[in-house]
């Protein structure tokens, strides 16, 4: 379906073997959450600490959280039987995460230096590298550091998340803050799915997410329970696969927005359906692929008061007027080289309403999902869906995380 070179698209899930390497920096404490979460989720996790990292987090802490002894330079330089440690680790890992990435290790990576266990392991491995830099703003902005960072960005093996901006441990305010654990974990899940392939590179992906609010007065509105989780998962997956991504979203958890922005996703916040339509219209013309995951209101109050209505003045019946059908409007105006994917959140029977919507609204594909089943639909971290396209192809996902569902959808679109 996507106008990309034809290729065989096998199931992309890789063995969940992740080597998490910590450099020196106060942000090292946040990486404990990353290691713990991965281990609890059933990943095989190994932790590696540089000499400087041990000033902030102990090997015992990481060993306890990973359920496996942590590695340091002491083990690297000690006598051991069998194959060299850096060779074993480099071949074992399906993904190497370096967080926090210090300016010192960044420089070593850019030079190809190998003077400790971490840098030797990187050179002894062909696994994708996920880098999460963290340092003082002035350090991060130094020309030498930016030169080293730019050099690594040109390496197909290198993937990155962050740094973000904000107040740092040194009280500076600016760029250099390590990405939050949630952003790192999302990148890990994506990279283990894709193996580091950027099969949406050069593509512009536009996504709508969350609910809209249609106000009766400044404090009351008609809305729905959509949280935006599915749309933000689509944005993270598309970004991990190399796309330039914009997401137009209704009111959402600030953590979702922060994770998206740290991944380099343009986030446009709106409140009403009219605002969403305007934001999508300006971006749609440049989009190669548009995914309409938002739960947009169908009606709005015919009149909106400018001040809060006293309780006794609330109308006994509420006059309503229809909201413009954003998906149908985009479908009527899309070019042949554009793809438009809709979502059909249903109760009861889900397939026939989805097929009808697919044809009626000029969509290229649609995602049908039930919102009346446990662990599925609005506000959950998991979902189950059926993908349909105009060619009659169909795929069921099973109950998976919303990020995995997003990757399954992109695989479906790429091979259709």
Whether residue 181 is predicted with pLDDT greater than 90 in this model: the reply is yes
Predicted structure pTM score: 0.86
| Domains of the chain: residue spans and CATH | 17-194 (3.40.50.1950), 204-415 (3.40.50.10300)
**pLDDT-derived band at 377, boundaries 50, 70, 90:** confident
- Of 81, 270, 107, 255, the residue nearest 185 (C-alpha): 255
**pLDDT-derived band at 167, boundaries 50, 70, 90:** confident
| Catalytic choice (170, 267, 268, 304) | 170
Query: How many residues belong to the chain?
Result: 416
Q: 378: cis peptide before it, omega within 30°?
A: no
**DSSP letter, residue 288:** S
Q: Which residues of 9-39 are buried (b: 16+ CB within 10 A; e: fewer)?
A: eeebebebebbbbbbbbebbebbbebbbbbb
Whether residue 56 is predicted with pLDDT greater than 90 in this model: the reply is yes
> Among 110-114, 147-151, 174-178, where is mean pLDDT lowest?
174-178
Give the pLDDT mean for 206-219: 92
* Residue 304: active-site member: no
Give the pLDDT mean for 49-78: 93
For the record, the structure tokens of 268 come out as 């446009």
Instruction: Tell me the average pLDDT of the chain.
Output: 90
> Among 115-119, 196-200, 249-253, 370-374, where is mean pLDDT lowest?
370-374
Q: How far apart are CA 210 and CA 293, in angstroms?
A: 7
**% of the chain residues with pLDDT over 70:** 96
Asked whether 371 and 377 are in contact (CB, 8 A), the reply is yes
């Amino acid at each position: 379906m996507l106008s990309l070179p034809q290729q065989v698209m096998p199931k992309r899930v890789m063995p969940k073997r992740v080597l998490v390497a910590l450099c020196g920096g106060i942000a090292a404490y946040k990486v404990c959450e990353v290691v713990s979460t991965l281990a609890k989720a059933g990943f095989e996790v190994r932790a590696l600490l540089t000499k400087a990292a041990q000033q902030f987090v102990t090997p015992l802490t990481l060993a306890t959280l990973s359920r496996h002894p942590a590695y340091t330079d002491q083990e690297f330089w000690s006598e051991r039987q069998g194959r060299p440690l850096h060779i074993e680790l480099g071949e074992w890992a399906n993904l190497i995460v370096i967080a926090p990435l210090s300016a010192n290790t960044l420089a070593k990576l850019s030079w190809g230096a190998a003077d400790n266990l971490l840098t030797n392991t990187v050179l002894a491995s062909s696994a994708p590298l996920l880098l999460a830099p963290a340092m003082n703003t002035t350090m991060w902005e130094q020309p030498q550091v930016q030169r080293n960072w730019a050099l690594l960005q040109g390496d197909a093996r290198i993937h990155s998340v962050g740094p973000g901006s904000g107040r740092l441990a040194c009280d500076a305010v600016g760029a250099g803050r390590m990405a939050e654990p949630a952003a790192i974990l999302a990148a890990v899940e994506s990279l283990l799915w894709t193996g580091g392939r950027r099969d949406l590179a050069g593509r512009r992906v536009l996504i709508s997410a969350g609910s809209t609010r249609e106000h009766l007065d400044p404090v009351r509105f008609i809305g729905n329970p959509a949280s935006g989780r599915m749309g933000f998962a689509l944005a993270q997956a598309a970004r991990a696969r190399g796309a330039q991504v914009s997401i137009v979203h209704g009111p959402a958890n600030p953590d979702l927005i922060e994770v998206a922005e740290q991944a380099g996703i343009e986030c446009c916040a709106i409140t009403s359906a009219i605002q969403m339509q305007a934001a999508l219209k300006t971006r749609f013309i440049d989009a190669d692929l548009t995914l309409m995951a938002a739960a947009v209101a169908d009606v709005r109050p015919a009149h909106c008061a400018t001040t809060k209505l006293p309780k006794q003045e609330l109308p006994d019946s509420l006059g309503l007027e229809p909201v413009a059908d954003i998906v149908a409007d985009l479908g009527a105006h899309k070019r042949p080289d554009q793809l438009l994917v809709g979502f059909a959140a249903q109760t009861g029977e889900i397939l026939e309403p989805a097929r009808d919507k697919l044809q009626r609204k000029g969509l290229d594909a649609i995602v049908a999902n039930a919102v009346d089943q446990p662990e599925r639909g609005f506000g959950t971290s998991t979902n189950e869906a059926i993908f349909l396209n105009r060619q009659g192809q169909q795929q069921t996902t099973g109950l998976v995380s919303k990020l995995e569902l997003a990757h399954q959808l992109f695989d479906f679109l790429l091979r259709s």
